[in-house]
């Protein structure tokens, strides 16, 4: 008999805690969630039928409408197999398991990749879900190797994992990197080696110290001196300006610190997550339906693109945070997540069957300043949307 994994136990605990705090879920949204998940399953069946065998889906080309794909080294390579695992979990249809396994074979070699900080996205979203749902212990070795590769990018003087090896920065760290720490926490629990989780905590603490402004918005990029650990500059790469609040960056921070609290029970991380959530929810330029503009400080609001990917990440994070935040704040975060999911399940953001190159959500933004992936579907928007829908359904059951 397969043992229940730590991840499943944690998830079930979240479900029970949240139900006790927020009460009965919105029946209309539960119905919409099922309809959206059923549509997602049909869309991804279509994706699997048309996707070439040696690539992974990435987005739609905004110029010609064609599907854009990637190889396994692109940072989003783990999301498509991960979404297939979620759809297998929902439907129990073995076709999704087969497709996930097929695409994971392409990604498998990235366990040895020490040139990227994105191994959490690439490996934990794919192989982590595979381990959770199958109990196949062979995936543990792959994930532990991935954690070892990721840890090589940690500089103890800086107290962070280096994000990029390109550009003119000396030691750039981006807020996105908070999302990759879950792999390290898992590795310590699984292996008994505390060094991985120690790196995750040090990175999180350094990021709190240097990445956030007094209002708890975050910079996108902080560049450090690798020899001294001092901050060289605080910049943006995908945001509107160095001083702006790039929408998906705020979502990454919210999700990352919520996860860090779950894994450590350190209340400093819970406080940080709540402060980020309050910044997002109370922002005067938050969109009426809470699917944010691509940057909260973007020139031209409200006539600028929305970012459904930021909304999906935020919704999933808020649902989990509602379990930890206490009764009053928990209800507030739960209600906000419901509002976001209502919007994402609407015709404005949810693709029609057979359209959108078989992606699920429309209207996301990759990097507006670079005119890259603007107002298009994105594979990680789909991943976190499906995750949020499943989380909502499971938490509502109690």
Q: How far apart are CA 391 and CA 22, in angstroms?
A: 14
Helix and strand counts by DSSP (H, E) for the chain: 14, 9
Q: What secondary structure letter does DSSP report for 40?
A: H
CA atoms within 13 A on the CB side of 243: 2
Q: How many CB atoms lie within 10 A of CB 295?
A: 29
Nearest to 183 by CA among 254, 248, 129: 129
**Maximum CA extent, the chain:** 58
DSSP assignment string, 241-257: STTS-BHHHHHHHHHHH
Nearest to 129 by CA among 101, 151, 94: 101
Is 118 tagged catalytic?
Answer: yes
Residue tagged active-site, from 34, 93, 118, 303: 118
User: E strands, the chain, where?
Assistant: 56-60, 67-70, 154-155, 160-161, 172-174, 221-224, 231-235, 364-367, 372-376
3-state secondary structure of 188: helix
Parallel/antiparallel/unpaired status of strands 231-235 and 67-70: unpaired
Q: What secondary structure letter does DSSP report for 378?
A: B
CA atoms within 13 A on the CB side of 363: 20
Parallel/antiparallel/unpaired status of strands 364-367 and 231-235: unpaired
Q: How far apart are CA 288 and CA 263, in angstroms?
A: 33
Q: How far apart are CA 295 and CA 29, in angstroms?
A: 27
Nearest to 162 by CA among 175, 173, 148: 173
Is 26 tagged catalytic?
Answer: no
Residue tagged active-site, from 34, 176, 295, 375: 176
3-state secondary structure of 70: strand
Q: How far apart are CA 85 and CA 346, in angstroms?
A: 24
Which residues have a catalytic role annotated? 118, 176
């Amino acid at each position: 008999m397969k043992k229940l994994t730590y991840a499943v136990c944690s998830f079930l605990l979240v479900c029970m805690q949240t139900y006790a705090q927020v009460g009965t879920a919105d029946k209309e949204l539960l119905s919409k969630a099922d309809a959206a998940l059923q549509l997602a399953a049909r869309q991804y069946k279509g994706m699997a039928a048309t996707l070439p065998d040696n690539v992974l889906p990435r987005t739609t080309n905004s110029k010609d409408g064609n599907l854009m794909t990637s190889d396994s080294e692109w940072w989003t390579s783990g999301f498509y197999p991960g979404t297939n695992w979620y759809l297998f979990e929902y439907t129990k249809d073995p076709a999704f398991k087969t497709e996930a396994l097929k695409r994971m074979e392409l990604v498998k070699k990235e366990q040895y990749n020490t040139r990227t900080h994105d191994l959490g996205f690439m490996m934990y979203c794919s192989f982590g879900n595979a381990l959770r749902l199958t109990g196949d212990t062979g995936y543990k070795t792959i994930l532990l190797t991935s954690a070892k590769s990721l840890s090589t990018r940690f500089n103890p003087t800086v107290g962070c994992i280096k994000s990029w090896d390109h550009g003119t920065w000396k030691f750039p760290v981006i807020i996105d990197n908070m999302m990759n720490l879950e792999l390290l926490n898992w590795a310590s629990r699984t292996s008994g080696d505390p060094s991985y989780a120690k790196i995750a905590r040090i990175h999180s603490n350094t990021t709190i110290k240097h990445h956030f402004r007094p209002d708890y918005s975050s910079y996108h990029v902080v560049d450090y001196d690798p020899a001294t650990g001092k901050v060289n500059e605080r910049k943006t790469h995908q945001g509107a300006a160095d001083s702006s609040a790039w929408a998906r960056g705020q979502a990454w921070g919210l999700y990352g610190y919520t996860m860090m609290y779950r894994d450590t029970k350190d209340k400093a991380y819970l406080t940080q997550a709540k402060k980020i959530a309050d910044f997002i929810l109370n922002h005067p330029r938050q969109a009426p339906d809470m699917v944010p503009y691509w940057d909260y400080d973007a020139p031209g609001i409200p006539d600028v693109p929305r970012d459904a990917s930021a909304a999906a990440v935020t919704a999933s994070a808020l649902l989990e945070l509602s379990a930890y935040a206490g009764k009053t704040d928990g209800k507030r975060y739960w209600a906000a997540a419901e509002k976001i999911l209502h919007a994402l399940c609407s015709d404005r953001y949810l693709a029609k069957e057979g359209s959108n190159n078989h992606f699920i959500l429309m209207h996301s933004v990759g990097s507006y300043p670079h005119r890259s992936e603007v107002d298009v579907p994105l594979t990680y928007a789909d991943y976190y949307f499906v995750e949020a829908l499943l989380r909502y359904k499971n938490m509502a059951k109690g």
